[in-house]
Amino acid sequence: MPPEEVDPAGKKYEGDGVTVWFDATRCDHFAECVHGHPEVFQPGRKPWIRVDLGEAEEIAAVVRRCPTGALHYRLEAGPPEDPKAPTSVLPLKAGPLLMRGDLRIKTPAGYVRDTRAALCGCGATANLPFCDGACGINQPLGDRD
């Protein structure tokens, strides 16, 4: 028997063929969603996510670009997000460790399973183990002078 599917944390946005969840506590404002589909993801608008303004598969593809795991999706007719293999870790200068893969992350509330996460690399976060942007810059190592 497969494990029971649990909804991701965060606010739920339902549409035709796709549901998106946004967990503001994990967002570090990389803006991959905004750049990927500005009609659907538009900060300043209420609601800021309008899944009715895009195609389900396109929205899912943009959500998979979110490096922090703040966004998740479920397709009505389609597979769930596959974890990247092998797991990758990208340390950002003065920022989080961006992880992709089949992740099992220990939190104060227990273990969380995910495919994407931005883990705190400096210890200043109030949302352990996730980065909350307290360290400042979100830029890959070597990309700055």
For residues 69 and 103, state if they share a domain. no
Q: What is the pTM of this model?
A: 0.87
| Predicted local confidence at residue 107, as pLDDT | 93
CATH number at residue 46: 3.30.70.20
User: pLDDT digits over 33-90, tens only?
Assistant: 999 999 999 999 999 999 999 999 999 999 999 999 999 999 999 888 999 999 999 9
Residues 94 and 128 in one domain: yes
Whether residue 70 sits in one domain with residue 92: no
pLDDT at 45: 95
Q: What are the angstrom distances between the C-alpha of 102 and each of 37, 105, 114, 144?
A: 26, 10, 6, 30
Q: Give the range of the structural domain holding residue 97, as residue numbers without chain letter.
A: 88-140
Query: Would 145 be classed as within a structural domain?
Result: no
What pLDDT band is residue 6 in, cutting at 50, 70 and 90? Answer: confident
Give the pLDDT confidence score for residue 5 in this predicted structure. Answer: 62
pLDDT greater at residue 50 or residue 123:
50
